[in-house]
Structure 1
Amino acid sequence: MKAQLLILADGRFPSGGHAHSGGLEAAVVRKRVSDLDSLRRFLIGRLYTSGLVGAAFAAAACADPGSMDGIDEELDARTPSPALRLASRRQGRSLWRAAAVVWPGPHVTKAGAVRKGLHQPVALGVVAEAAGCTPGESAAISAYHAVSGPASAAVRLLGLDPYQVHGLIAALGDDIDRVAQAATEAARGPAADLPAASSPLLDVSAEDHAAWEVRLFAS
């Protein structure tokens, strides 16, 4: 296994992911997630909707980083929530800042010149290519982040046992692999045909969460 893959998948990589809960904070406050079982259902739902979309776009950007602008526009069209668009682009900028130091290169430099900043999955694909990862590996990292980020937030928000939470992530390993494989296959086609799986409750919750005066996570 490539060291670069491990570095990008590591939650300690300074890309700003620790500041985001992936919609979990709103779900906890609104009592939709309250224990390990409801967290499992939340993670599965997120993985097969926004997780699949993100993984497919990461794979597409990794396969053809020169087309990052068009790929990013397609993902923007699949992100109806302004709050989620803002959060995604902020995470994309954070990832770019780290990559500009760790894996500098022409595509990473171009990504930094995008005025609004790239969406996080697109930035991840561009960075993964610069790090020497394959589109399939990029999709796997993205799919893993779709569950590991909210799972980590759950420990802080609900006080869950971190060993049990990591056991839950491990139990989702086959699902993560399936989503990554489906995303990689989808990325072989044109950007316009990439998945558009929707998660309306995450969109609504993001707008709700963005209006709070006090919150632990940025999203």
Structure 2
Amino acid sequence: MTPWLAFQLADSALPTGGFAHSGGLEAAVQLGRCRGAAGLERFVEEALWQAGSLAVPFVLAAARAPERLADLDARCDAATPGHVANRASRAQGRALLRAARAFGPAAGALEDEVRRAGLAGHLAPISGALLAALGAAADHAARLHLFVVARGVVSAGVRLGLVGPLEAQAALLRAGAVAEAVLAATAGRAPEDAAATSPLLDLLQSHQDRLYSRLFQS
């Protein structure tokens, strides 16, 4: 994969629908569980550890063996019982496939496969299989997934008024060290061992549909 394509995949302009989701941050703010810049950074760290334990094993497995996509997608669906998080994962996975059609026939063929097989299309296994089809290494796919998680939460924090744009960029930079620690701690974890590590985050995400007013879908 060329560096230019890698930049495009990480660019916020890629229309994957990720900015319609806060990863539970909106509920955390409304319920008083997250306040200010410090609260946002703690939330980002928790979201990264959750993603590293639950999603990254599927990203890595699909990147290393994209022919296992159907099985990995089904396992990811079973490992994500919360209805809001499950719905968001499927929506973002399918949106990523639609956006990636611009990158050539390999990405288009993957979307066709998902549609024909009737897969749920969860973001983590789709990300891994797509990055593999585009020529990326598995570790790059995992890092990109964690970057997108952190970027989405930080962006939501700006729109929710927790931080300003400059503070947000500093927080996103510091999140890089957390992401590397997450990758090191979860290295070698198989999809069969994937599990959520933050019950509170699961509860906050599941509360999203109960909010009286909301900016985000999750």
Tell me if both proteins adopt one fold, taking TM over 0.5 as the criterion.
yes
Q: How do 1:131-170 and structure 2 match up within 5 A?
A: 131-158=134-161, 160-170=163-173
Contact 2:40/2:162 (8 A) holds in 1 = no
Counterparts of 2:52 and 2:37, CA distance in 1? 20
Q: How do 1:88-107 and structure 2 match up within 5 A?
A: 88-105=89-106, 106-107=109-110
Q: Which residue of 1 aligns with 2:4?
A: 3
Counterparts of 2:104 and 2:54, CA distance in 1? 25
Counterparts of 2:209 and 2:19, CA distance in 1? 17
Contact 2:16/2:95 (8 A) holds in 1 = yes
Contact 2:20/2:216 (8 A) holds in 1 = yes
TM-score (norm 2): 0.90
Q: Which residue of 2 aligns with 1:126?
A: 129
Contact 2:48/2:150 (8 A) holds in 1 = yes
User: Cα RMSD over matched residues?
Assistant: 1.9
Q: Which residue of 2 aligns with 1:112?
A: 115
Contact 2:73/2:120 (8 A) holds in 1 = no
| % identical aligned pairs | 32
Q: Which residue of 1 aligns with 2:45?
A: 44
Counterparts of 1:113 and 1:18, CA distance in 2? 28
TM-score (norm 1): 0.89
Change (3 A) 1:184 1:124: farther
Change (3 A) 1:107 1:204: same
Aligned-residue offset at 1:159? 5.1
Q: Which amino acid aligns with 1:198?
A: T
Q: Which amino acid aligns with 1:41?
A: R
Counterparts of 1:112 and 1:39, CA distance in 2? 37
How many residues of Structure 1 are paired with residues of Structure 2 in the alignment? 215
* 5+ residue gaps, structure 2: none
Higher mean Cα deviation, 208-217 or 36-45?
208-217
* 5+ residue gaps, structure 1: none
Counterparts of 1:198 and 1:43, CA distance in 2? 14
Change (3 A) 1:29 1:117: same
Higher mean Cα deviation, 209-218 or 145-154?
209-218
